[in-house]
Amino acid sequence: MTFKPINSFTIEEKTVYPAYYMNPQLYAIGSVILVSLVSLVGIVALSVREQSLKKVLHLVVALAAGALLGDAFIHLIPEALEKMAALSFSAAVLGGMVIFFILEKVLRWHHHHNTHENGHPEISTQVSPLGPLILIADGVHNFVDGIVIGASYLVSIPAGIATTLAVFLHEIPQEISDFSLLLFAGYSRKKALLFNFLSALTAVIGTVLALLLGGALESFNTAAAAVTAGGFIYIAAADLVPELHEKHSAKDSLAQLLGLILGIGAMFLLVFLET
């Protein structure tokens, strides 16, 4: 999609359809802030007892694994493949997987070093490397969403509103799963809520850059979507699915399978809601 810069509209266009072209920057910033607030959906967890939360956490991990895989294969990959050559697309997805493999290696090394330095465990280091991986992947994803929102408002305000609605619907299950994974990684509920919100604010940066640079970010946006898809696939396959195999009972396995299918199903459903 080629985005038309707002300053390229003719006087006739602005006169005939003034509502389409007035204050797109204001609409865009307001929209991306609204979308970023979805990350605070985890605030409901603050009122839930910790014991009750732990009981459902493994089920939520299965749901999150399905959501990440669904997001990668149903949303990000088709979007990137539509605009990239097959070889470049494959390289970007595989590159994303390699990048997150390296990131996890570095984080695990740092985690192990802090825990066992001088032979004395460091009790304060309790957060799994999964936590930072989720924040990085989600931060890149939100940044891309911000670019999409900003660029769509440069086309017209109605186009921007439609895009914002699609991103908003998409972010609800994504942010619920991200918050749950941060809890699973060892963050307290308050820290998970704060870091998830800070990660969501990268969308604001993406929108501001899109408004300033117009369509110049389109190729970056496409490549970033492919790299993010690779990151999501890596996190789901390398970190979440192995965790699900820790519980062996038929009841737990059935619940996990249901959660996985529901996560994928939610992403399929969003395809119809966004069109």
Q: Is residue 37 part of a domain?
A: no
Residue 238 belongs to some domain of the structure: yes
pTM for the model stands at 0.71
> How far, in Å, CA of 85 to CA of 87, rounded?
6
Task: Print pLDDT tens along the chain (275 aa).
Answer: 344 444 454 544 444 444 444 578 889 999 999 999 988 887 876 666 766 666 777 788 888 898 889 889 988 899 889 889 999 999 999 999 999 999 888 887 765 555 555 444 443 345 788 889 999 998 998 998 898 888 888 777 877 887 788 788 778 878 888 888 898 888 888 899 999 999 999 999 999 998 888 767 777 888 888 998 999 999 999 888 988 888 778 888 999 999 999 989 988 887 776 65
Residue 2 lies in a domain: no
78 inside domain: yes
Question: Helix H segments across the chain?
Answer: 11-16, 18-21, 24-36, 50-70, 77-81, 86-116, 130-155, 157-185, 189-200, 202-213, 218-234, 241-244, 250-274
Domain containing residue 197: 50-113+126-274
**Domain assignment of residue 102, yes or no:** yes
Number of domains in the chain: 1
158 is a domain residue: yes
Burial class (CB in 10 A: 0-12, 13-18, 19+), 86: exposed
Torsion sign across C-alpha atoms 72, 65, 233, 203: positive
- Per the domain annotation, does 240 fall within a domain? yes
Is 207 domain-assigned?
yes
